[in-house]
Amino acid sequence: MNAYIEHIPGWMGDAELEYLHNMVAEAPEDALIVELGAWKGKSTAALYTAMYGNQSVVTIDSWLGQADLRFDAHREVLDQDVFLEFMNHMEHLGVKPEWYRPDRAGAQYIRALTADALTLFPDHGIKRAFVDADHEAVGTDVDILMPKLASDAILCGHDWNWGNVKEQLESRVTIVEVVGDLWVADI
């Protein structure tokens, strides 16, 4: 993995980043990979730098921060555009994500709320998905995402030990592995 990733602010550990990187590197060369929640791009960098062939890695985020964290961990959104910081980090990696178009491969993004953005994807088209958006709504995100996943998809996410993430997930999917704070589900 690219050494610059460790300089991107975020809450991902090395083992978690390695898992994400390998998830993309081992995906089919034409896979559609979707990330829900990017913040400043630490996890995105692991995904983008592993792309090969005609893969598409699409990052979805509003870059407005989680509502209940806007005066705490995400307070930066009150006086700056975190999306610009995200794009600067990608530029340092030599990656230039473009606005999502389904007919294009490569690094892409959608600046929108998860529920709105996922309407742009066909059912059963996503081969890999990483969920790290609103932790209070991870269950809802998984519910909306499930019809979009291919039958052989990999579904994983972050913050297994955050609030009620475990409870939201355990009522929806079977967790088969936990790497640090990253969970992997059997769909």
Helix, strand, coil percentages (3-state) for the chain, rounded to 5, are 35, 25, 40
Domain with residue 113: its CATH number is 3.40.50.150
Give the integer Cα–Cα distance in Å for 187 and 181: 19
Q: How many domains is the chain partitioned into structurally?
A: 1
- In this prediction, residue 67 carries a pLDDT of 59
User: Bridge partners of 130?
Assistant: 35, 156
The domain in which residue 169 lies consists of 3-186
Reported as half-sphere exposure (CB side, CA atoms, 13 A), residue 28 has a value of: 11
* Structural contact between residues 173 and 167, judged by C-beta atoms closer than 8 angstroms: no
Which ranges of the chain does DSSP label H, i.e. alpha helix? 14-25, 42-48, 82-92, 114-118, 138-145, 165-170
DSSP for 114-161 reads HHHHHTTS-TT-EEEEEE-S-GGGHHHHHHHHGGGEEEEEEEEEE-TT
Give the integer Cα–Cα distance in Å for 169 and 185: 9
Report yes or no on whether pTM surpasses 0.85.
Answer: yes
* Structural contact between residues 28 and 127, judged by C-beta atoms closer than 8 angstroms: yes
Radius of gyration of the CA atoms of the chain, in A:
15
Q: Phi/psi class of residue 159: alpha, beta or left (left: φ > 0; alpha: ψ in -120 to 50)?
A: left
Q: Which residues contact 14 (CB under 8 A, 6 or more apart)?
A: none
Encode the chain (187 residues) as per-residue pLDDT tens digits.
788 999 998 889 999 999 999 999 999 999 999 999 998 999 999 999 999 999 999 999 988 866 555 455 545 655 688 899 999 999 999 999 999 999 999 999 999 999 999 999 999 999 999 999 888 889 999 999 999 999 999 999 999 998 899 999 999 999 999 999 999 999 8
User: Bridge partners of 182?
Assistant: 158, 179
